[in-house]
Amino acid sequence: MAATDTSGAAPTPTPDQKAPGSTTPDNATPGDITPGGMALVIQECQRGVIGPDSALPLLAKAAAPAVPFIARLAHGARLAGVPVVHSLATTRADGYAEPRNAPLYRMAARAGKPLLAGTQAAEVVDEIGLDARDLVVTRASGLGPMYDTGLESMLRRLGVTVVVVAGVSVNVAILDLVLDCVNAGFEVIVPRDAVAGVPPEYAEAVIDNTLRLLARVERTQDVLARWAAAPQNVARSA
């Protein structure tokens, strides 16, 4: 509970307060990050993950409202010259040498809907698409796209210092990606309307209570406005 101010002075807002109707990002100063050196990393927005034939139907349902926002981010990034990186999970038909050391891995294996490379299940959903200049990293193990995929070195070669994170799921991979990026020295932006998890109220709690301590929590419109203001991105042209 906040202390009562009897001095007559205007109360000082707490870090989690903002003016009614404000579009200012949750924990950011408007305009203090420019598009130069930014990249958009889209996590596991694949047909077999969030599409109609998903092995994780509850996640697919929760992600449906976020997909249009992720698509807008991808389109806006391409227009602004911001690198777009798709992180895709893939599996083998026989499951040989794939991890089984966590309940999540075993649950995915039991679902019987492998994300086989080269099949529709492993493809990016149509709403987001795969542009000719987009970059792709794949992984067969690990909980997030920074583990053993070459993503970190790719971002550094591009001159990236700020990573915009989108996709699924807030439960595991998005949280893992944010933690890994921060540990590696990148600044992170999470557009809260472009990520999803299950149940949705849990994902919102993670965003508000954990991700806000690690990243700038914004909305898609804030990120797009920043990109539109400076259409040439130095990371893309490096």
Chain position carrying tokens 């400076």: 230
Residue with tokens 């499951």: 95
Tracing tokens 């700038």 back to the chain, one arrives at 216
Task: Say which range, 76-80, 105-109, 136-140, 161-165, has the weakest mean pLDDT.
Answer: 105-109
SS3 call for 148: coil
Q: What's residue 140's pLDDT?
A: 79
User: Whole-angstrom distance between the N-terminal and C-terminal Cα of the chain?
Assistant: 50
**5-46 tens-digit pLDDT:** 444 444 433 333 443 333 444 554 434 565 679 999 999 999
What are the pLDDT digits (tens) for 134-178?
A: 999 998 777 789 988 899 999 999 999 999 999 999 999 999 999
CATH of domain 43-233: 3.40.50.850
pLDDT value of position 60: 97
Residue 188 and residue 181 in contact, taking contact as beta carbons nearer than 8 Å: yes
Beta strands per DSSP E along 8-50: 38-43
Predicted confidence at residue 116, as pLDDT, reads: 77
Among 179, 117, 105, smallest CA distance to 141 is for 105
Q: Rounded to whole angstroms, how far apart are CA atoms 75 and 78?
A: 5
Q: What pLDDT is stored for residue 112 in this prediction?
A: 67
Please state which of the ranges 67-71, 115-119, 205-209, 232-236 shows the lowest mean pLDDT: 232-236
Residue of 182, 147, 140 whose CA lies nearest to 165: 182
Task: Decide if 121 contacts 53 (C-beta within 8 A).
Answer: yes
Domain positions in the chain are 43-233
